[in-house]
Amino acid sequence: MTFLPATTPVVYILHENSEWMPPLLAGFEAEGVPVHDWMLDAGSIDLTQAPPEGVFWSRLSASSHTRGHAYAKEYARSVLRWLEAHGRRVINGTHVVELEISKVAQYVELTAAGFDVPATIAVFGVDDLQSRARELALPFITKHNQGGKGLGVRRFDSYAEFDAYVASTDFEVPVDGITLLQEYVLSAQPFITRAEFVGGRFVYAVRVDTSAGSFELCPADACVVAPDGVAPEGVAPDGASPDEIAPGVGAGLAPAICAVPGTGASLFTRREEIEAGHPLIVKLEAFLAQHQIEVAGVEFIETADGRLVTYDVNTNTNYNPDVEAGLADGGGARSVARFLGRELAAHYAPVPAQ
């Protein structure tokens, strides 16, 4: 794909999954903010030239390699460095990309900031997997360091079961060679919470029902997969989650579902009691500011033993239509459009006549 810049300053959305784009583009249209779609699947840039004028929002996904875009993260790194070197306004820039593609990086930074995160052992390659697993209590889970879509997430109730898995052809090799061994965290109730932030500020919190044990909890329309694993017509199964499951929600990789079993109710509902003044939200806003993360969804779990465990910082967040229906401010997509529209106006305001 050859990148064709706009002729006037606009908002550029850098991404690699077109299935996630329609709700976002609709939000920009509703807010009257000019936007240009920049697909990070192929193309070229001339490093001797300056980038186009505009505001650039990076939505690189850690699961890009599962959609045939194995080099998207390298493309993003290159393009973002080019943009930043020329002083362009970038939302979720190079440092944020490094957090998006590495759970190790996220856990290290969250721990340093005083958050409770799942006890985790990062194993490089396979040689140490079996021995290091025995340092965790049973049951425990695995996941991929560069994750999303529930990649590599499995629960093990015995070391022998894990040994057999590692030795089998079922073993999922992580794209970066890093497997995470992680404590099994039991939720007090069958749900996790996702807090949405735009411009570094809290927007709302979402309760995600996990009673069916699904590992694919993406809130976007394109992530909906029927309980039997068959996508609805026109929706591809590989369009599923950019999110990790909350530790301790299930055993094995379950197909994504769109409703609470037996009720037809959406998996995604607002948590009205979580407000901007909540201590965790205040702490998360400070963390996001420290790391220059301006648009994100952060997931946490309230455990059976009274912990508040933060386990995922998702910087290519999607928004659920059931949650956003009827919101006076239009919800997350329109909040992003307004935020980026303000940034565009601030950086390209007309120069007053002398």
List, for residues 327-346, the tens digit of each pLDDT value.
878 889 999 999 999 999 99
Q: Which two tokens stand for residue 342?
A: 């303000």
Measured CA to CA, the distance from residue 265 to residue 96 in angstroms comes to 34
Rounded to the nearest 5 degrees, what angle is found at the Cα of 229, between the Cα atoms of 226 and 187?
A: 80
Residue 178 reports pLDDT greater than 70: yes
Same fold: 10-99+340-347 with 120-183: no
What average pLDDT does the segment 300-326 reach? 92
What average pLDDT does the segment 154-159 reach? 96
List, for residues 285-301, the tens digit of each pLDDT value.
999 999 999 999 999 99
Nearest to residue 38, comparing CAs of 80, 99, 97? 80
Please state which of the ranges 72-76, 130-134, 252-256, 326-330 shows the lowest mean pLDDT: 252-256
Mean per-residue pLDDT over the chain, rounded: 86
Residue 315 reports pLDDT greater than 80: yes
List, for residues 213-240, the tens digit of each pLDDT value.
654 555 544 444 333 333 333 222 222 2
Read off φ and ψ for residue 130, nearest 5 degrees. Answer: -70, -40
Give pLDDT, residue 147: 83
Q: Which two tokens stand for residue 87?
A: 């002083």
Tell the residue number behind the tokens 């080099």, with chain if given: 71
Give pLDDT, residue 123: 98
Give pLDDT, residue 137: 97
**CATH architecture assignment, domain 120-183:** 2-Layer Sandwich (3.30)
Give pLDDT, residue 99: 96
Percent of the chain scoring above 70 in pLDDT: 82
Q: Which two tokens stand for residue 123?
A: 């194993």
What average pLDDT does the segment 27-31 reach? 95
Residues facing 183 on adjacent strands: 140
What average pLDDT does the segment 159-170 reach? 97
Residue 199 reports pLDDT greater than 90: yes
List, for residues 257-277, the tens digit of each pLDDT value.
455 555 556 789 999 999 999
List, for residues 83-139, the tens digit of each pLDDT value.
999 999 999 999 999 999 999 999 999 999 999 999 999 999 999 999 999 999 999
Residues facing 89 on adjacent strands: 55
User: CATH top-level class for 10-99+340-347?
Assistant: alpha beta
User: CATH top-level class for 187-326?
Assistant: alpha beta
The residue ranges of every structural domain in the chain are 10-99+340-347, 120-183, 187-326
Residue 321 reports pLDDT greater than 90: no
Measured CA to CA, the distance from residue 63 to residue 80 in angstroms comes to 19
Q: Please list, in sequence order, all residues whose beta carbon lies within 8 angstroms of the beta carbon of residue 219, skipping any fewer than 6 positions away.
A: 194, 206, 208, 268, 318, 319, 320, 323
Q: What is the pTM of this model?
A: 0.86
Measured CA to CA, the distance from residue 239 to residue 225 in angstroms comes to 9
**Residue 211 banded pLDDT, cuts 50, 70, 90:** confident
**Within 10 A of 303 (CB to CB), how many other CB atoms are there?**
18
Give pLDDT, residue 82: 98
Give pLDDT, residue 351: 53
